Structure 1
């Protein structure tokens, strides 16, 4: 039996064990909320309190908290979710802030995080994005994550991100200055938002073609899970990028062994040409180190993209720069190092690029690292029923 057939059979067994509930199957290998890293006071502008000792001791995370506003949102699904908003006036020195205020409204990056983190653990990256790029950053929590109520599901993530978008617009942020940024699983709600509501741009960081396509062992061979179990699919980014009406930047490491590189490559190619901005496909980066592998290149690519988004928001016509790629292998989709390329990843020094120097800060991992996707692709899946199976939240430990 081929690997595609084995993987499809494994998903069928999981479907039966989940009471023939497609939503439970999706949640079982998609959402793994970590223990909350923070709490938030219940009032509208409550202060974030870190629960993880490493975050509370970090100067970077303390600065991020001081530069942020916390707001509680009620989604159309009825859940209460916190939203953090790092403001430009608090990220810059007073003289810099006054100078930038004269330039008009800033861009706001609406960040949709991955599935194994929460906005508390993302505060450091939010601060760095805002400070280095001169933008404001908004991070919304998913239902069932962090301090948010409810249970995690794809439908809830759509509602969570839409609530944050609507809040920003209600506060006077023009839609063409909102940039949806989706990281890993967060590419699903980010792409969905931009395909339905006007945005200034979209950034997809280690994205997936669709939820079920992540577990395809061989993406272009028959009996693949995405074909047999298409009814389970969610986050159909491959269809939604065709509906985008704003610039798209795709970033994906070519050594990604969690969401294979071809996902990002194909999303880039499927975007309409007039909105397809040059992609960033670092050869030495994997799933969780796309930024750290080469910080200069990462921030440079994002800054260039945001500069074009800003020009378009100001009424200027900007055409996407041309870029060409050699088509990668459709099965492996991983570039092997050449003799001229070092095999060890060279980490960029943060102090060379960021305005603040490096420090001993917590290492924030984003994305599943428990091998679930790889095991699905190999067909090595077993399901262990537990007493709380009916709750539908899905725990990674059930798959191994």
Structure 2
């Protein structure tokens, strides 16, 4: 997400605001694709990564990543990855990534995180990201995660009690929406936002009819346990968003992870990030 320029600020008030316009201004910055799918076998693909993907592991490790396409209710074809990180993993994370990255750039992070916390990871690219078709929009976000959910449930046979929904930044938006409609083992909201207007205009106190991404109004309907993670010095989505989301959760996980001094894009570099997730997955969700 970027800050609004003066002209964009004026446009919001000179033109009738609508969710798609706010969404386009605040959220979507798809990069040039950093991967492709090759050698299909029974509708599943190997992944080919460009240098910009910065793969940090071996070619043998890359064979643990399987690509597949899902069709959304809005007619788009969504690229998905199943990252097999552990042969004995109990949980699979359905990961909705942040804004200006695609599956190729996230692949090393997924593999490393899954290995360290003993989880497999299933992720997808939003419409218009990577090799997914269509254009990014708020409605497409919700359709995209629905198609990924159905793929994980049907093609891979993962039951909801073994699924952890994980959303990061803009990825918390579809994550919260899906979690209002399905009970899962747990939800992780990493640098969540209350709504689009509240990011653009921090003094916004209510949800307007034209607001986009109104997670603050949806999260009270989430019945699964929710772990909230946020950096206290987040320069993109203020720390107050994480606090407000946490306070509205019916089943917040205590303690949340407030990473002192962390910004928007470096929470994962702090030791307590991995420690908190390890304990959450291997101890709290088991007991």
- Whether the 8 Å contact between 1:107 and 1:310 is mirrored in structure 2 is no
- Whether the 8 Å contact between 1:114 and 1:183 is mirrored in structure 2 is yes
Residue matched to 2:26: 29
The residue correspondences of 1:62-77 to structure 2 (distance < 5 A) are 62=59, 65-77=62-74
**How many residues in Structure 1 have an aligned counterpart in Structure 2?**
281
Distance in 2, matches of 1:149 and 1:16, equals 32
1:279 aligns with 2:217: no
1:143 aligns with 2:96: no
Question: 1:270 deviation in Å?
Answer: 1.2
Question: 1:242 deviation in Å?
Answer: 0.9
Selected match of 2:277 from 302, 321, 338: 302
Residue matched to 1:356: none
Query: Secondary structure, in 3 states, of the residue corresponding to 1:269?
Result: helix
By percentage of residues, which structure has more strand?
Answer: 2
Structure 2 segments unaligned to the other structure (5+ residues):
none
Query: Secondary structure, in 3 states, of the residue corresponding to 2:209?
Result: helix
Distance in 2, matches of 1:232 and 1:182, equals 23
The residue correspondences of 1:339-350 to structure 2 (distance < 5 A) are none
- Whether the 8 Å contact between 1:177 and 1:199 is mirrored in structure 2 is yes
1:179 aligns with 2:164: yes
Distance in 2, matches of 1:211 and 1:64, equals 38
Question: 1:248 deviation in Å?
Answer: 0.6
- Whether the 8 Å contact between 1:251 and 1:264 is mirrored in structure 2 is yes
Query: Secondary structure, in 3 states, of the residue corresponding to 1:231?
Result: coil
Question: 1:59 deviation in Å?
Answer: 3.9
Distance in 1, matches of 2:159 and 2:218, equals 22
Selected match of 1:82 from 79, 82, 86: 79
Structure 1 segments unaligned to the other structure (5+ residues):
1-5, 312-317, 319-400
Distance in 2, matches of 1:260 and 1:173, equals 35
Structure 1 length normalisation: TM-score? 0.65
Question: 1:276 deviation in Å?
Answer: 3.4
- Whether the 8 Å contact between 1:177 and 1:310 is mirrored in structure 2 is no
Residue matched to 2:266: 289
Distance in 2, matches of 1:9 and 1:266, equals 30
Selected match of 1:202 from 181, 187, 190: 187
Residue matched to 2:112: 128
Mark the CA change 1:20 to 1:130 in structure 2 (over 3 Å): closer, same or farther.
closer
Question: 1:238 deviation in Å?
Answer: 1.1
Residue matched to 1:47: 46
1:164 aligns with 2:142: no
Deviations 1:345-391 (A, max 9, x none): xxxxxxxxxxxxxxxxxxxxxxxxxxxxxxxxxxxxxxxxxxxxxxx
- Whether the 8 Å contact between 1:64 and 1:126 is mirrored in structure 2 is no
Residue matched to 2:228: 250
Query: Secondary structure, in 3 states, of the residue corresponding to 1:185?
Result: helix
Distance in 2, matches of 1:167 and 1:33, equals 23
Query: Secondary structure, in 3 states, of the residue corresponding to 2:70?
Result: strand
- Whether the 8 Å contact between 1:26 and 1:232 is mirrored in structure 2 is no
Query: Secondary structure, in 3 states, of the residue corresponding to 1:204?
Result: strand
Deviations 1:48-104 (A, max 9, x none): 1113x2436x442745532111111001111101100012xxx34xxxx4xx3xxxx
Mark the CA change 1:59 to 1:159 in structure 2 (over 3 Å): closer, same or farther.
same
- Whether the 8 Å contact between 2:17 and 2:210 is mirrored in structure 1 is no
1:268 aligns with 2:252: no
- Whether the 8 Å contact between 1:200 and 1:309 is mirrored in structure 2 is no
User: Which has the larger Rg?
Assistant: 1
